[in-house]
Copies of this chain bind each other. A is one copy, B any other.
Amino acid sequence: MNFSVYEYPRPAVTVDTVVFGLDDDCLKVLLIKRRHAPFAGSWALPGGFIEENEPLECAARRELAEETGLSDIFIEQLYTFGDPGRDPRGHTISVCYYGLVNLSEHEIRGASDASEARWFAVNALPELAFDHDEIIRMALQRLKGKVRYQPIGFELLPQKFTLSQLQRLYEIILEKPLDKRNFRKKILGMDLLIDLNERQQDVAHRAARLYRFDEEKYNLLIKNGLNFEI
């Protein structure tokens, strides 16, 4: 076996990713069941050690693909956690990412170091390995913060969606009911949605109008922010 030798001690470096998915009526997070110690058999975020000369985001994507089969999704750096004691194996720093997917368009499977991969509602999480509960809390906070100054939903909703689905997404993320009329006025006022002149298929009641995001305007708003231009 080859060993790596350094003049000074180095912390280990891992990457972990919080992937959110939107279900009919709740926000879910993707967890894997750990195969190995520490915390063997516990649920945890998909992630693992970065490899030599591997860029951080590549490592996060590699681990996600290896452990859950997910690839080509939106991810963004969240925060780096480095409290000594967060990993029983010793000083370990985790560079964390968060991602968003539309649940209906992505299939997951457990693989490699994970014996199983599964979606859990964010308000009904199992006990988690390491400080992964804290990492998920921060990712949720980031998501809530983002709603205030950027449009969101593009990655979480199906391509065509109704205003009710979009409102539900905001209600789920903000954890509070929103006034329907007020929400519609604001969201349509942002000039972000394209009315597809289509209606839902296969619904029992009155079929609602379908919309999609205007991708160009959406990206512009993400770049420039929504509001408070002083």
Binding site for B on A (CB under 8 A): 1, 3-13, 49-56, 77, 79-80, 82-84, 91, 93, 95, 145, 147-149, 170, 174, 178, 183, 186-187, 225-230
* Contact A49 B149, CB 8 Å, known A82-B95, A228-B226: no
A162 to chain B, nearest CB (A): 16
How many monomers of this chain does the complex have?
2
* Contact A148 B149, CB 8 Å, known A10-B6, A230-B170: yes
Instruction: Give 8 closest A-B pairs by Cβ, nearest first.
Output: A53-B84, A56-B82, A149-B149, A9-B52, A10-B10, A148-B225, A4-B9, A227-B227
Q: Are B5 and A10 in contact (CB under 8 A)?
A: no
On chain B, the residues within 8 Å of A147 by CB distance are: 228, 230
From A80, A95, A187, residue with most partner B Cβ within 10 Å: A80
A21 to chain B, nearest CB (A): 21
Question: Roughly how many angstroms separate A124 CA and B84 CA in the complex, as a whole number?
Answer: 39
List 5 other contacts, CB 8 Å, given A13-B13, A148-B228. A3-B5, A56-B82, A93-B93, A149-B225, A149-B227
